[in-house]
Amino acid sequence: MMKCFSFLFLLSFVISHSYSQAVQIEKSYDWTYYTEVSGVTVDYKFTECNIPSEGYFRELVLLRLTNNNDYDVIVDWDIVKWYGLQCVNCDMSNPEQHRTVEVIANSIREGTCALDEFPRMKLFSKFLNYDMSDGELTNFQLENITVKIK
């Protein structure tokens, strides 16, 4: 009986905390609030990532997940991106745009410029060493955000 109750509680938690956010993104180089789902705050910021030794000159959007819960969670979401006025992945289901990240209780997980660190926590915005005005990220959405107890 207790096992059934626990399962039903977890199932209702996951279903009721699936979330889609439609927001026009403000281009900010400071951490900016995006949304909060089930005790997990999602923030973003634009940043210039320059690693000359790697020939890496890019503007990225870094994501930050703050788990305000007393338990570990798994956060899932899908990314939709616009470059100029064109949504590049609105009409397709692309597993490359799905992200899953574990966040320990009462901790923060955030993207960085490091090439091999937390690739799921960053989005490409534009190249900094090329003039490509139509190749710049103008908006993004994090859709189907779910938070599950680990």
Q: Over the stretch 120-149, which tens digit does the pLDDT of each residue have?
A: 999 999 999 988 767 899 999 999 999 999
What is the rounded average pLDDT of the residues 97-113? Answer: 96
Hey, is 133 helix, strand or coil? Answer: helix
- Phi/psi of residue 64, nearest 5 degrees: -135, 130
Higher pLDDT, 132 or 34: 34
- Give the Cα separation of 150 and 144 in Å (integer): 18
| The pLDDT of residue 2 | 46
CA-nearest of 57, 62, 47 to 119 is 62
